[in-house]
Structure 1
Amino acid sequence: MTVFVLVAGAFTGPHVWRDTAARLAAEGAEVHAVALTGLGKRLGDPGEAIDLETHIADVLAVIDSAASGRPGREIVLVGHDYAIHPVLGAADRRARSVARIVHLDAGMPRDGVPALAAVPDPSLREELSERAARKEQPAVAGELPPPARNEWSRWGSTAGLSDAALDGLTALAAPQPLGTLVQPLRLTGAVTAVPVTGVLCTGNGPGIEMLQMMVDVGDPALRALADARVPFFELPTGHWPMLSCPVALAEVLIDAASGKGRRLASGDDARPPAHLRPFLLDVPERPRERTGNTDLYLPDGPGPHPAVVFVHGGPVPAGARPTPRDWPTLKGYARHVAGLGVVGVTLDHRLHAVTDYGIAAADLADAVDRVRADPRVDEGRVALWFFSGGGPLTADWLAAPPAWLRCVAANYPILAPLPGWGMADTRFHPVRALAHAGDLPVVLVRAGRESAEIAATVEEFLTEARRCGANVEIVDVPDGRHGFETLDPTDEAREAVHRAVGSVLARLTA
């Protein structure tokens, strides 16, 4: 028999598992929804300090009870959100008793790192970090109040939740003991022997295809998961699937318990990773000049020529090789426009994590200044072309477009901070910046088979464009995927590239 031990995330308790637990039980499983102290379990002593170790002990008690005197039962621990921390802590101490750990829309905590590192809200992270640095006793000092009904999105996407479910989530929420967030997780390493499955909620973060891209560009943590052949599942919903799609979640957990799931391809596979496959157009070589982090692909003639600066996405690990300016897509576009009489520019910027957008923006601004100062470039006719995770960098240019900026283009871009980033109030929010763009032309290349979380930001951007009357042209690639230039070398995709390039160059030469 499979025994599911379900542990809910921050502010929530066993009640959120009701429908999922009922379906698991109907399928013949034994189910235990853990009541964590302060989040469904009463304090033994009103003055008791609650920290991560308290919650680890709560999970251990359920594991020991389920395992006692009943051999042959496979215990599957399911940790949602914050709960992956006490789940891993308990599994590390009972590795021989646990058959599998399921990360349900949860991160990959490491030894010595507290749960606050995964808190989406950066201001809250900073506050708790300062409190921990002053060696306060947050387990005694207080609790973190639960979100109000309109604040849950700061902790994860509420996509898929009905009004009734959101009302119930809010009404039954409990304060989170601060000590559970600031006490570091301590692992001996025994937990690494326990099989792991990941369940991704694609309305809240990346899906499997996006993870594969991150593996391909060299993310070390995800590469380790690919090498270990960790299986993954997707659920097309937000951060609380036990409330938005409880039956589908139960079915996924049953499959996860048996070791099913889709595995990421490791870097040892014979075929090149998607981003290093050939560009879909057969583009002739062009002269290239490399200075610092910037490459110029020069057209024939002395100039000055208009220029297009191609801005890669990310985050890209600092150690990724080759670096983005040598990826076939960026080189392909730059060579292509150079052949049409325009300087093509590629650069490497330092977007290595979602916290690096400010650094990347400074890198881009510096590169643009240097390009415009080149005597072979017409400083008054420049376009910026963004890709994927570079999309948030458009916000600065949309908010205050300079006179020399003739066009902004974006391929399969992220156009609003994703729910798990904790960047809702950042300046890197193109949707909010668009109303200030005036008549600046925007060419948006939209992939029809885009991931749900990115597609939602594009639709939000287009809704705002209609509201404010922005000058946005859409180039659709109906069967194209994210990164279609190397993934989908079809006639449809080639035509889209020609149309997008034509639209951008028309703005530069007008």
Structure 2
Amino acid sequence: MTASPTFVLVHGAWHGAWCWRRVLPLLRQAGAEAHAVTLTGVGERAHLLTPAVDLHTHIQDVIGLIDAEELSDVVLVGHSYAGMVITGVADRLQQQRPGALARLVYLDASVPDPGTAWSTPHSPDTRQARSAAAAASGGLSFPPPDASVFGLDGADRDWVNRRQTPQPFALYHQPLQFDAARVAGLPRTFIDCTAPALPTIAPARLKVRQEPGWQVLEMQTGHDPMVSAPLELAHLLMQVAAA
């Protein structure tokens, strides 16, 4: 990895590129090139939400940014749900454009197995609640939780609550097919946010500690470290990129 890394930051569910607002300038001040994508149907692209928006739409959103900006040696960072997205991106780009990616960073994120969905490791109660919430919208989307579940309070909680938008539902139970060996050919880092630890990430935390080839780092903050600990996160990302 060069001394001037290139980052592409992919937000998790209910969020948008807005959530990286405190991190992007820190990475750029440190000499990095940094981009944040908003996935179709959320954030400032919420008006594009349709029943057709699914996991493949979001994978193409990220590949589209990488292609349009003509990026290579990208450190691809996926937060929470976006662990699904960056896995799909890596599978395609490793096959089609070797050299486009330098490393994958799963930021307190889902870490899928081939053929599993974002919902697969969730508890039956979580799956049922999200499916019921989506049914109220005709199967289009499900609403965000209060940002306090991400370990946020005060002004940070209010800031996130104002900006969250419903998450497309078509992708929730959608399995992701990919070549595990192809994805594992890239260096992979998992950043575990432990204070407080979000329960739905527990299976991923266990998985990356059991499988070979993972770099596992910890942050003593909640599930939205780009909001609660932006300076620490930017520093950690720069360290990871330099490894």
The TM tier, using the shorter chain, reads 0.7 to 0.9
Deviation readout 1:477-505 (Å, 9 max, x if unpaired): xxxxxxxxxxxxxxxxxxxxxxxxxxxxx
Tell me if 1:236 matches 2:232.
no
CA deviation after TM superposition for structure 1 residue 22, in Å: 0.8
Deviations 1:100-126 (A, max 9, x none): 00011113211111111244x642313
Q: 2:41 touches 2:48 (CA, 8 Å); kept in 1?
A: no
Q: 1:48 to 1:25 in 2, by over 3 A?
A: same
Q: Does 1:123 align with 2:128?
A: no
Which residue pairs with 1:173 in the alignment? 164
Letter in 2 for 1:5: V
How far off is 1:162 after superposition? 4.3
Q: Is the 8 A contact 1:49 1:139 kept in 2?
A: no
The alpha-carbon distance between structure 1 residues 198 and 221, as it changes in their structure 2 partners (threshold 3 A), is: closer
Partner of 1:141: 139
Instruction: Flag the 1:39–1:220 CA change in 2: closer, same or farther, 3 A.
Output: closer
Q: Distance in 2 between matches of 1:220 and 1:250?
A: 25
The amino acid that maps onto 1:242 is M
Structure 1: 5+ residue stretches without partners: 207-213, 260-510
The 8 Å contact of residues 118 and 175 in structure 2, kept in 1 or not, is answered as: yes
Q: Does 1:201 align with 2:193?
A: yes
Residue aligning to 2:202: none
Q: Is the 8 A contact 1:162 1:244 kept in 2?
A: no
Change in 2 beyond 3 A, CA 1:9/1:45: closer
The AA in structure 2 aligned to 1:247 is L
In the alignment, is the contact (CA less than 8 A) between 1:23 and 1:250 conserved in 2?
A: yes
Query: Against the structure 1 CA distance between its residues 164 and 61, is the aligned structure 2 distance closer, same or farther, given a 3 Å change threshold?
Result: same
Q: How many pairs are equivalent?
A: 230
- Which digits, 9 at most, give the CA deviation of each residue in 1:69-110, with x for residues without a partner? x6xx42001011101111110111012211000011113211
Cα offset for 1:63?
1.9
Does the 8 Å contact 2:208/2:216 carry over to 1? no
SS of residue paired to 1:253: helix
Partner of 1:222: 209
Could you say which residue in structure 2 is the equivalent of 1:109? 112
SS in structure 2 opposite 1:146? coil
Residues 166/94 of structure 1: CA separation in 2 closer, same or farther (3 Å cut): same
**What residue number does 1:467 align with?**
none
Who is 1:17 aligned against?
A: 20
Superposition pairs of residues 451-462 of structure 1, within 5 angstroms: none
Letter in 1 for 2:143: P
Would you say the 8 A contact 2:51–2:140 is kept in 1?
A: no
Q: Are the counterparts in 1 of residues 190 and 208 from structure 2 also a CA contact under 8 Å?
A: no
Q: Take 2:47 and 2:167, find their aligned partners in 1: how far apart are those partners?
A: 17
Distance 2:225 2:185 in 1: 28
CA contact under 8 A between 2:209 and 2:216: conserved in structure 1?
A: no
**2:231 aligned with 1:247:** yes
| Alignment partner, residue 31 of structure 1 | 34
Percent sequence identity over aligned pairs: 36
Partner secondary structure for residue 127 of structure 2: helix
Judge conservation of contact 1:4–1:75 (CA < 8 Å) in 2: yes
Q: What CA deviation, in whole Å up to 9, does each residue of 1:209-249 have, x standing for no partner?
A: xxxxx9xxxx7763323xx2x22222111111101110110
Q: Structure 2: which 5+ residue stretches go unaligned? A: 199-204
Is 1:77 the counterpart of 2:76 in the alignment?
A: yes
Q: Does structure 1 retain, via aligned residues, the 8 Å contact 2:55–2:171? A: yes
Q: Answer whether contact 1:37 1:43 (CA < 8 A) is retained.
A: yes
8 Å Cα contact 1:50/1:140 also seen in 2: no
- The 2-side partners of 1:162 and 1:200 are apart by 20
Partner residue in 2 for 1:64: 67
Q: Counterpart of 1:52?
A: 55
Structure 1 counterpart of 2:201: none
Greater relative CO (CA pairs within 8 A, separation 6+) = 2
Q: Shift in Å at residue 173 of structure 1?
A: 0.4
Task: Classify 1:29/1:221 alpha carbon distance in 2 versus 1 (closer, same or farther; 3 Å).
Answer: closer
Partner of 2:183: 191
Query: Which residue identity is paired with 2:209?
Result: L
SS state at 2:104 partner: strand
Superposition pairs for residues 306-455 of structure 1, below 5 Å?
none
Give the distance between the partners of 1:202 and 1:7, measured in 2 at CA: 20
Change beyond 3 A, Cα 1:54–1:220: closer
